[in-house]
Amino acid sequence: MSVVGEAIIKLIFEGGKQAKVQIEKFASEHEQALAKIGSDAKAAGKAISVGLGAGFIATKAAIGATTAAAVGQYKEYEQLQGGIQTLYGDSADAMIENAERAYKTAGMSANKYMQTATNFAASLVQSLGGDTQKAAAYADRAIQDMSDNANKMGTDIESIQNAYQGFAKQNYTMLDNLKLGYGGTRGEMQRLLADAEKLSGKKFDISSYADITEAIHIIQQEMGITGTTAEEAGATIEGSAKAAKAAWQNLVTDLANPNANLEKSIDNLVTSLFGDGTNKNLGLFGNALPAIERAITGIAKALPNLIGKITKRLPDLLKKILPPLMNATVQVFVALADALPTVMPIIVDGLVQLVTALVPHIPTILGALFAAVIQAVGALLGALGNAIAPWLESVAQGLWEWFNGLFTGINKALGNFGAGAAKVIAGFANGFKNAIQNIKNWFASIPAFFGSIFSNITNLFKNIGTSIGKVVSGAFKAVVNGIIRFIEGFLNTPINAVNGLIDTINSVPGVDVPRLANIHLPRLAKGGVTTGSTLANIGEAGKEAVIPLEQNTENWARPLASALAEQFSEQGIGGAGITVYMTNNINNNLDADEIGRRLMTSIRRAA
Per-residue pLDDT tens over the stretch 418-443: 555 555 455 544 444 454 455 445 44
Give 10 or 396, the one with higher predicted confidence: 396
Per-residue pLDDT tens over the stretch 546-591: 666 656 566 666 666 676 666 656 655 554 444 544 444 555 555 5
Which percentage of the chain shows pLDDT scores above 90? 23
The C-alpha atoms of residue 403 and residue 415 are separated, in whole angstroms, by: 18
The C-alpha atoms of residue 572 and residue 567 are separated, in whole angstroms, by: 9
What is this structure's pTM?
0.43
Q: What is the pLDDT of residue 552?
A: 57
pLDDT reading at 157 higher than 80: yes
Q: What is the pLDDT of residue 433?
A: 46
Q: What is the pLDDT of residue 472?
A: 45
Calculate mean pLDDT across residues 70-99: 91
The C-alpha atoms of residue 256 and residue 107 are separated, in whole angstroms, by: 22
Tell me if 565 sits within 8 A of 574, measured CB to CB.
yes
pLDDT band at 210 (very low <50, low <70, confident <90, very high): very high
pLDDT reading at 106 higher than 70: yes
pLDDT band at 359 (very low <50, low <70, confident <90, very high): confident
DSSP 295: H
Q: What is the residue-wise DSSP string for 394-455?
A: HHHHHHHHHHHHHHHHHHHHHHHHHHHHHHHHHHHTSS-TTHHHHHHHHHHT--SSSHHHHH
Q: What is the pLDDT of residue 462?
A: 55
Q: What is the pLDDT of residue 384?
A: 76
Residue 452 C-beta-side C-alpha neighbours within 13 Å = 14
pLDDT band at 8 (very low <50, low <70, confident <90, very high): very low
Per-residue pLDDT tens over the stretch 475-499: 455 555 666 776 777 677 877 877 8
Residue 569, exposed/middle/buried by CB under 10 A (0-12, 13-18, 19+)?
middle
Q: What is the pLDDT of residue 521?
A: 63
Q: What is the pLDDT of residue 413?
A: 61
DSSP 515: P
The residue among 471, 472, 449, 446 whose CA lies nearest residue 459 is 446
The C-alpha atoms of residue 497 and residue 547 are separated, in whole angstroms, by: 39
**Conformation bin of residue 388: beta by default, left when phi > 0, alpha when psi is -120 to 50:** alpha
Q: How far is CA 382 from CA 177, 374, 389, in A?
A: 71, 12, 10
Calculate mean pLDDT across residues 494-518: 75
Q: Position 412: which residue type?
A: K
Of these ranges, 338-347, 449-458, 547-556, the one predicted with the greatest mean pLDDT is: 338-347
Give 174 or 383, the one with higher predicted confidence: 174
Calculate mean pLDDT across residues 173-187: 94
What three-state secondary structure class fits 509? coil
The C-alpha atoms of residue 228 and residue 239 are separated, in whole angstroms, by: 9
Per-residue pLDDT tens over the stretch 363-385: 888 788 878 888 888 788 777 77
Calculate mean pLDDT across residues 104-121: 92
Q: What is the pLDDT of residue 42?
A: 47
The C-alpha atoms of residue 401 and residue 453 are separated, in whole angstroms, by: 19
Least confident of 23-27, 133-137, 204-208: 23-27
Per-residue pLDDT tens over the stretch 244-291: 898 898 898 888 888 888 888 898 888 888 888 787 787 888 888 888
pLDDT reading at 329 higher than 60: yes
Calculate mean pLDDT across residues 343-367: 82
Q: What is the pLDDT of residue 530?
A: 64
Q: What is the pLDDT of residue 166?
A: 94
Residue 571 contacts by C-beta under 8 Å, 6 or more apart in sequence?
none
pLDDT band at 55 (very low <50, low <70, confident <90, very high): low
pLDDT band at 97 (very low <50, low <70, confident <90, very high): very high
Calculate mean pLDDT across residues 491-510: 76
DSSP 170: T
Average pLDDT, the chain: 74
Q: What is the pLDDT of residue 58?
A: 60
The C-alpha atoms of residue 552 and residue 558 are separated, in whole angstroms, by: 11
Least confident of 208-212, 292-296, 369-373, 407-411: 407-411
Calculate mean pLDDT across residues 530-559: 62
pLDDT band at 143 (very low <50, low <70, confident <90, very high): very high
Residue 267, exposed/middle/buried by CB under 10 A (0-12, 13-18, 19+)?
middle
Tell me if 426 sits within 8 A of 464, measured CB to CB.
yes
How crowded is residue 104: how many other Cβ atoms within 10 Å of its Cβ? 22
Q: What is the pLDDT of residue 423?
A: 56
The C-alpha atoms of residue 176 and residue 178 are separated, in whole angstroms, by: 5
pLDDT band at 117 (very low <50, low <70, confident <90, very high): very high
Residue 89, exposed/middle/buried by CB under 10 A (0-12, 13-18, 19+)?
middle
The C-alpha atoms of residue 422 and residue 539 are separated, in whole angstroms, by: 24
pLDDT band at 85 (very low <50, low <70, confident <90, very high): very high
Q: How far is CA 401 from CA 58, 133, 259, 398, 500, in A?
A: 37, 72, 49, 5, 18
Q: Position 199: which residue type?
A: L
Q: What is the pLDDT of residue 317?
A: 83
DSSP 518: P
